[in-house]
A and B are shown apart, each in its own frame.
Chain A
Amino acid sequence: MEANVNPLAVILVYFDSKGDRLLYRYPYQTLGQTEVATDEQRKSRKRNPYAAANTDDLLQTPTHISAAKSQGQLQGFADDVLSALFAVKPQLCNQKFELKLNDVRFVSHPTLIPHKEQRPSNASSSISLPSAGGVTANPAPAAPSSVLAVKKQQMLINIVFALHAQASYSIVKCYHELSKRLGLALKFEEQRSGYLTEQTAHMARTHDEQQQQPLERTLELIAERCSLAQALKSIFHDLCTTGLLSTSLNQNLTLCFCLPAKAHQLHKKGSMVDPETIDRCLRALKPYHGMLLLVDFAELLDCVPPTGARMLWQLVDAYNPLISLQSMASNADLSIEHVYKLVSHLVYWAKATIIYPLCETNVYVIAPDAPLHTKSHLVEKFSTRFAGMSLFEVISDFSLPTSIGHLTTPLQQPARQGILAQMVLWMLQHHLLMQLHTYVQFMPSEDEFGDSASCGHQLRGASDDEGDQDADQDELHDGSMLSMSSQPLPVPVASINHRRDVSEDHSSLASDNIAVQPSSSHKSNFSMTASLSTENCDSIDSMEDEQKLKELLQVFNDADRAAIRRIPASLNVDDLALLVKLYQMGYFKSEHHLEEIMYFENLRRSQLLQLLDKFRDVLIIYETEDPAIASMYNNK
């Protein structure tokens, strides 16, 4: 899988009125011998007349002209064949072009470029480029008036990347994007100074001069002489090593590009992060998130053209993994949108990762795919970084979800906590730890009968009154809840509603044959319970509060309301009001973690935890990872 990310070759094909030509390709390993090799291969293949031709296993067995990728290189295609293939018709220009030949996939963005008309003086030597995000070259305003006079001659330039056929769609898309940007950059340089005309002429001349020489030698010579060839060569190398490239064309225009599938492997071997995953993570970016840089400050500049670096410096000055993006934005005097953009850029380029700002209460646990083993280079790296500490000893504390606060006590020196925070950051940078968040799901447990039955029998002494109700109910329900009816009832008043929940729930979720109750009887039942419950509760003193509570409870449906009424805290207007508010905001649907609720509702943790505790009977609280951030981990 990992090998599929690397390109097999980069090919430059040029086409104009004089015909097509493959001007340069890298690597040079040639194709002269391959014709022989494939012939031999073919012979050896045919040697056994009984060998069955394997027609189905196309992907595994390379067919005869296929690229023998023994050294991971492109072979088997003669240069003139390739050049004819990639000198595409004008209709196909300026759009994605993809060709798959056996097990090699070629991807490119053929670009039509008008020749710069030849003039002795190039007036436009200094054009400042628009910054950031690679090349966004708008046509140079160089001498527009005179251009009109000359009939423009178009040339076609096609920078083709040869990939493994198994390369995934998103990888192919990235290479297409790169080819497109290169085309655009060359178009810009051509219009500015006729760079492309000069370079292609130079390459063609070298080819003509060196016809006796082996092709490899010629291509080497081209790379020595032509800066465009050099650029392509270095692009190929960068793609194969880091996946990050920053190449300047014609010493003027800097092309920045990142192949995320490759770049993210630097920090975590074996991970396949495609741009879609990153996008998904970045779309979920919230002001309360924080950023954690993965590299030194100096390395950050790789990913932006120098002109775009000002804002980045502003952000980096304010960088602190302990604070949220929101605070970073205000400290750096940038708008939050700008910060999002910058952070997204850094994340895409594998320079940073998204975290929840480090604090004492954050709960961390070992990431499921953490590369923790005795042979791991991280072990040594860790003990060099934190003198004398063993990674395994430190990280084994996080076998159970643990917060920094738990691992330190006030009695220890404060320095210890600082070191621990540093270690946690280090482990987060290396994707060894993962943060867990608490999520809340509103879910009144309707069958509390069963619960009480299993947990104890202390409530067995049910009153007569209750028994009557029970009997009534049985009649009503036509014996459908047989399994329930024999259980003791914990809270007399609520019993009716309880049963109703069960029946309703069942009828809605499954096609159980529960007879639908006439609604009138339900209503009467409900009103009766409501009055009962208010009678029972002597804590309500004023009618106003009662009224208010009733209004608040209108939000819930009958079944949920009954469940909430059973909770003592529901009689407190403030508590109930907060619960209703959070419920209405949709925070109790397992979609929002506590930190998010705290941030958006401006609550303190203790406040929220108290509320959740009070209403724990209708809420299910559980810990899990933030799906947005977890998607960046390699969850299997």
Chain B
Amino acid sequence: MHSHTNDAAGTSSAGSTEGKIRCIFLSEFHATAGCKISCQVPDNYISKDVFDAINVYIIPKQHLQRCILTVNAMDVKIVGYPVGIQDQQKYARNAFLFNLCFVCDSRARSVQYEPVVKKLSEYLIMMEEESCFLSREDDKRRLQNIFQTVLRDLNERKVATIVEGDNTIYLKIVMHKPDPPAVKDHMVPLLLANLRDTPLENWDLTTQQILPYINGINHVARIAAEADVETDLVKSCIQNLVYYGVVQLLPILKYSNVYMTQNLKHLIQSASLSNACRKYVALKPDKTLPSVQRIFQFYASMTHGVTLRAICQRLCPQHHNIDERKMVIFGLQHKFIRCIHKYPVFTGSVPSGRQKMYTGLISFDEICCKTGLSPCTIERDIEKDTNVTVIWK
């Protein structure tokens, strides 16, 4: 129920879940017996009734060979990659038709398994062509072992490596996520996982160079300047990190910022979260951690029209061992608060110069970043101009 724990990928498909692989089976078209399951792990997961109802989609007509075919019926979802190997000498019916299938729950997402099914099928095709690995009757035990390993390893670690004879099979589940939004100059990247522990040389060169400057305070343009890396490179690098859920983008932190609470009740309703928050926002970790009450009071005082500066002056966070910057970061990260951005809008007839940027789509921060002017200058500029209205949202 805690919406803040959902990441973007989780919420995008409401109702469906990330499901495990329930079963792996190999179905083949037997010269005399017709469609059948020749190897299944765990045994009998797909019953004969179910298989009979859907075998048309497991061993389909020739047109549909070699394309990923997912059938979702009778409460199972089966991802397969039907294959036919033509060979007049080897096979009784001049061709060997088979399909390696992964089975999931009918509500589970299965896109991430598609490349894996395809790849494993390609391995099997190769092994079949080389040594009749599949069509020889006696070899099913070895196949069974492969399936068992794949099922266990992929479910547990998302990676499986199997050595079978001369072949080594490498499989990996890559989660598909929606494209991350474009990174802009004024955004502030924040490292989420504790990646400082991973050796620097595991990253690509650009990432290695900019990683030390990602601290939740520096914005993209500044990181680019300090790390002496081209801005566009930094942007694509950070976008990449966002895609992998390593980095989250936050609005730039200024004491003139205004924040607004949302779903603040989660903070007190979840003990683990409030403890994490107390540890995170502590100014000096060796002293007594700030109380939940105090932190809650801080967040609760954030509302439209109240700047962070005003809150700090009123509540003196430093006296309570609270680092207000960390508190804002924690709040944004867990979506207890959101930043209220300021958008100048030009309402006159013909905009000129900077007025062209006042469309209502470009926020104040972005304008500052683009023009390289200080917020005060822009603010004065806007205040003087009667044709400009400012909207906070």
Are A169 and B16 neighbours in the complex by a CB distance under 8 Å? Answer: yes
Q: Check B391 for interface membership: any CB of A closer than 8 A.
A: yes
Q: List A residues 261-311 near B (Cβ within 8 Å).
A: 274, 276-277
Considering the chains assembled together, what is the distance between the CA atoms of A268 and B288 in angstroms? 49
A100-B69, A509-B278 known; A445 vs B293 contact (CB < 8 Å): yes
- Binary interface encoding of chain A residues 610-636 relative to chain B, with 1 for a CB under 8 A from any of its CBs, else 0: 000000000011111101001000011
Q: Check A2 for interface membership: any CB of B closer than 8 A.
A: no
Considering the chains assembled together, what is the distance between the CA atoms of A55 and B52 in angstroms? 31
Q: Considering only CB atoms, which chain A residue lies closest to B16 in the complex?
A: A169
Considering the chains assembled together, what is the distance between the CA atoms of A444 and B263 in angstroms? 20
Q: Check B61 for interface membership: any CB of A closer than 8 A.
A: yes
Q: Considering only CB atoms, which chain B residue lies closest to A627 in the complex?
A: B263
Are B111 and A59 neighbours in the complex by a CB distance under 8 Å? Answer: yes
Chain B min CB distance to A626 (Å): 11
Q: Check A483 for interface membership: any CB of B closer than 8 A.
A: yes
Q: Considering only CB atoms, which chain A residue lies closest to B69 in the complex?
A: A101
Considering the chains assembled together, what is the distance between the CA atoms of A396 and B345 in angstroms? 10
- Residue from B49, B289, B392 in contact with A366 in the complex, judged by beta carbons closer than 8 Å: B392
Q: Considering only CB atoms, which chain B residue lies closest to A375 in the complex?
A: B359
Q: Check A91 for interface membership: any CB of B closer than 8 A.
A: yes
Give the number of residues in A that approach B within 8 Å (Cβ atoms).
87
A56-B115, A81-B64, A99-B72 known; A446 vs B15 contact (CB < 8 Å): no
Are B56 and A99 neighbours in the complex by a CB distance under 8 Å? Answer: no
Q: Check A393 for interface membership: any CB of B closer than 8 A.
A: yes
- Residue from B288, B359, B390 in contact with A373 in the complex, judged by beta carbons closer than 8 Å: B359
CB-defined contacts of A373 to chain B, threshold 8 Å: 345, 359-361
CB-defined contacts of B300 to chain A, threshold 8 Å: 441, 620-622
- Residue from B63, B114, B296, B392 in contact with A443 in the complex, judged by beta carbons closer than 8 Å: B296
- Binary interface encoding of chain A residues 528-547 relative to chain B, with 1 for a CB under 8 A from any of its CBs, else 0: 00000000000000000000
Q: Check B268 for interface membership: any CB of A closer than 8 A.
A: yes
Considering the chains assembled together, what is the distance between the CA atoms of A229 and B84 in angstroms? 37
Q: Check A447 for interface membership: any CB of B closer than 8 A.
A: yes
CB-defined contacts of B54 to chain A, threshold 8 Å: 89, 92
Considering the chains assembled together, what is the distance between the CA atoms of A339 and B32 in angstroms? 64
Q: Check A58 for interface membership: any CB of B closer than 8 A.
A: yes
Q: List A residues 433-488 near B (Cβ within 8 Å).
A: 436, 439, 441, 443-447, 450, 453-455, 481, 483-484
- Residue from A368, A484, A630 in contact with B393 in the complex, judged by beta carbons closer than 8 Å: A368
Chain A min CB distance to B245 (Å): 17
- Residue from A396, A439, A444, A630 in contact with B390 in the complex, judged by beta carbons closer than 8 Å: A396
- Residue from A64, A101, A443, A625 in contact with B262 in the complex, judged by beta carbons closer than 8 Å: A625
A100-B70, A372-B345 known; A453 vs B319 contact (CB < 8 Å): yes
Known: A169-B13, A506-B288, A635-B338. 7 other contacts (CB 8 A): A64-B67, A89-B52, A100-B69, A170-B15, A445-B293, A447-B294, A510-B278
Could you list 24 A-B pairs, sorted by A, with CB under 8 Å? A55-B115, A65-B67, A81-B61, A84-B61, A85-B60, A92-B53, A92-B74, A100-B69, A100-B72, A101-B67, A102-B68, A274-B15, A366-B393, A374-B358, A399-B304, A401-B305, A444-B293, A445-B294, A505-B291, A506-B288, A506-B291, A622-B261, A622-B301, A630-B262
Q: A residues within 8 Å of B by Cβ?
A: 1, 55-56, 58-59, 63-66, 77-78, 81, 84-85, 88-89, 91-92, 95-102, 165, 168-170, 173, 274, 276-277, 365-370, 372-376, 390, 392-393, 395-396, 399-401, 436, 439, 441, 443-447, 450, 453-455, 481, 483-484, 502, 505-506, 509-510, 512, 589-591, 620-625, 627, 630, 635-636
Q: B residues within 8 Å of A by Cβ?
A: 12-16, 49, 52-54, 56-57, 60-61, 63-64, 67-74, 107, 109, 111, 114-115, 118-119, 122, 174, 176, 178, 260-265, 268, 271, 274-275, 278, 287-289, 291-294, 296-297, 299-301, 303-305, 316, 319-320, 338, 340, 343, 345-347, 358-361, 389-393
